Chain A
Amino acid sequence: MANNKLMTTVAPHLHEKGQTIERAMRDVLLALTPAVVIAIVVYGMNVVYIIAVSMITAGLSEVVMRRLLRRKVTLGDLSAMVTGLIFAFLLPPTTPLWVVAIGAFLAVGVAKELFGGLGKNVFNPALLARVALMISPLALYTTKFVEPFYWRSVGFFTPVATSIDNSVVGRVVYKGLAGNNVDAVTSATPLSLLKSGRLLVDTVAGATPVGATWVTDAGRPSFWSTFLGFKSGCIGEVCILALLIGAAYLLYRRTIDWRIPAGIIGAFLAVMLVTWNHPIYQLFGGGLFLGAFFMATDWVTSPMTRRGKWIYAVGIGVSIALIRLLGPLPEGVAIAILQWNVLTLLIDRYIAEPKFGEVKKPWFNRLPVFQKRKSAEGET
């Protein structure tokens, strides 16, 4: 009774229900939702326009590129949507929408699909696109930040975009959809204030830095305003609390590995404490939390083994600290993560899981000093 309908495959014959890429990507989208809500509150509907353009362009780029490269279109796995959303998170809330579209195409079309598609990209697509914009002639559009709650003078739903006007000092103006100038004020981010020396951590500055309404009378950013989001910055890095809520959800669902954020933040904090920098503003002022929980933990571009993850995470933490303290460029988090994305392949090649059945020796036994002593003992 040969039954032709019986299937024969190699074991296992079971697969965990719901264990799919879509599940993980949905988790990430869900985890980023609180940060989106807070960003809308702080920066108005402009945030929604940017996110929408970014996600739609990301999806379209995926479809077009996969068609061109004759691959199966896999829009359903939502990975392009996640890339689009994270890319939007890295932009100032007044980025012109055409710049957003270019960036989202760079992220999905170039950094992901041209490298071979899902799982084959070397760099985190969103970060690569962000840094590409930063070092391109479009940099001006993506490095100017408006003050929080600027929409009170402009209108909540009014689209606002950074524009260049040579007749104005500083060249940056904000324009509405109709091309009319809009009454929004450029403001410095906590980190750019720290870097430019206009905000000294332990001294009271004479005058309040220009436009930084979230700075307390004492001339420092208040802890709560940096933590809860009443500050200037990128869309995604506004509210640390919202990011932490999302991160807790991802950790609970085991979508991300706790070792990477722990290593990054721990190493970063250690360097900041050793060099005697004020850790609070450094921690909450920039994109450290967004990077540590949502970008460095990207499955594709982080190492596979536990030990490899620790090396990668501590490396990123130290790199961020060095770039912030010594480097001239902004986006230290993005550059540090990209730098270690490249090293991921190397880490995976040389840092393996400990072999099962190998006698484990304490690590210090492998130091030359101990080995010499042991051989001496063996002789006597």
Chain B
Amino acid sequence: MGWVRNLQRELFTKGGVHPPSNKIAATMKIFPGPYPETVVIPLSQHIGAPCEPLVEIHDRVLIGQKIGDSEAYVSAPVHSSVSGEVTGIIEYHHPTGVEVLSVQILSDGMNEVHPSVEPLGDPMEMTPQEIRKHIRRGGIVGLGGATFPTHVKLAPPEDKQIELVIINGAECEPYLTGDHRMMVERGEDIIEGARVIQRAVGAERIVVAIERNKPDAISVMKEIGDEYGFEVAVLPARYPMGAEKTLIKGITGREVPSGGLPMDVGVLVDNVGTAAAIYDLFYEGMPLVDRVLTVAGDGVAGHANLRIKVGTLVRDVIDFCGGLVGEPGKVILGGPMMGLAQYSTSVPVIKGTSGIVVLRGETVWKREPGHFVCIRCVLCVRRCPMNLMPYLIGSYSDAGMWEELETLNINDCVECGCCAYKCPTKNPLVQLIKVGKEGMARQQKKMEELTEALDKE
């Protein structure tokens, strides 16, 4: 394991920006969130196949009861977060902006827990297959925001040996403090969860990655680390330090190849929230029905770290925190750098929602619509953590030159937004890159169809 850098010194990678961190909620304890009257639980909260509903209207469901599942491998089941009556299986708003089949449950306030919820036994005596089976049944997905089903991540192909598990507590997004508080308050649970992950993939080491701006979390984790025998990597406070590829490069010095996965360099990265959810699953039996998120921003009355039931509507959470202040500009699910702006506050909180950031109308970054203007100031190239040339991608995408985009490795882009954050002419670079990815895929599909058609002739 000589290739893991000396973790005592500060780790460094290229690029990145320093947005004002605004982590006001960092000192606030995690608080149980509102008890919602109605929850709307989307059946697609993860990357992969959407679930089929397992309940019918007017069924009574209990906390932890499975209400949706899928036959597909890359998928994760969905559980009820309240006890009550199913009042509808409807197409409903989803944070990604589309409408998704969702289960609407009217809570009866009884908080009755499903009988299947009981501790699963000592995971250290289970085989990796059993662990993965349980994790799939618990509906656990990556809680950092990408929501990739964890059981798939824990099953690398035979020829890929995972040597290192990185528990990602970097939390580089401004405003968000949920992971930070989790480490301070539930450090031991996180490590128990991490050890389950370690056992499932047969890794030799665990490293917890924390940004320098969380000294209390670092000291807590270091203390536990001495006890359990894992290391804490102190990272510079810079966005996007917590992005998977940047993180791996910072800690190991290895670069994940283009189009590859962390397992290609023998690493597995999981969020602290995921590790804590795994702990809950194995030691308490509770599947993933709630998550910790941060409510912050200048457009909301109170900042808080809340433990929110999946399916709670955003407006209920905002009301719980004292309601809106001033003219609301944007309601963002996730952090302000990569989160999704919502057109309505009646969207539900899903498994991947790491924060609710409300920005006032006057503080939101506004941009006058217009064409792409680049003065080639190099800031985007210099700040890109993935060594891309965002200005070129942006101008080609603006001009609709899809073929050129492939040579610029557009698919390596992690859409962290550093380029757009810095751009002096305020070009919507991330938007152009997204359009470019879409356009390139369309173009490639068209070309394939054309080749097929020509081959047939």
Contacts and interface: CB of A to CB of B under 8 A. Distances in A.
Interface in B93-120: 97
A14 B330 contact: no
Interface stretch (B26-34, B222-230, B256-264, B300-308): B256-264
A356 B377 contact: no
B336 A305 contact: no
Contact of A353 (B257, B332, B359, B389): B389
A23 interface: yes
Interface of A: 1-3, 5-16, 19-21, 23-24, 72, 118-119, 257, 299-300, 302, 304-305, 348, 352-358
Interface in B365-395: 365-366, 370, 373-379, 381, 384-389, 391-392
- Most chain B beta carbons < 10 A, residue from A118, A352, A354: A352
B424 A21 contact: yes
Q: Which 5 A-B pairs have the closest CB atoms?
A: A12-B417, A357-B257, A15-B365, A10-B431, A119-B375
Given A10-B428, A356-B255, A15 B343 contact: no
Interface in B326-343: 327-332, 334, 336-343
Given A5-B327, A6-B343, A12 B338 contact: yes
Nearest to B332: A13
B170 to A, nearest CB: 17
B121 interface: no
A171 B7 CA distance: 75
A313 to B, nearest CB: 14
A14 B377 contact: no
Contacts of A10: 341, 428, 430-431, 434
Contacts of A11: 332, 334, 336-341, 415, 417, 430
B361 interface: yes
Interface centre among A6, A23, A352, A354, by most B CB within 10 Å?
A6
B375 A1 contact: no
Contact of B387 (A5, A13, A16, A353): A353
A6 B328 contact: yes
A299 B378 contact: yes
A118 B373 CA distance: 8
B341 to A, nearest CB: 4
- Chain B interface mostly helix, strand, loop or mixed? loop
B364 interface: yes
B137 interface: no
A357 B260 contact: yes
A11 B328 CA distance: 17
Given A300-B376, A353-B388, A13 B330 contact: yes
B129 interface: no
Contacts of B338: 11-12
A13 B428 CA distance: 10
B409 interface: yes
Contacts of B285: none
Contact of A5 (B97, B257, B328, B370): B328
Given A6-B342, A352-B389, A356-B258, A12 B330 contact: no
B422 interface: yes
B420 interface: yes
B404 to A, nearest CB: 10
B346 interface: yes
A15 B427 CA distance: 11
Contacts of B180: none
A13 B336 contact: yes
Given A10-B430, A13-B337, A119-B373, A357 B258 contact: yes
B19 interface: yes
Nearest to A11: B338
Which of A14, A15, A300, A348 has its CB near the most chain B CB atoms (within 10 A)? Answer: A14
Interface string B406-423: 001100100101001111
A209 to B, nearest CB: 43
Contacts of B342: 6, 8
B421 A14 contact: yes
Contacts of B315: 1
Given A15-B423, A357-B412, 5 more contacts: A1-B315, A6-B342, A9-B330, A353-B381, A358-B255
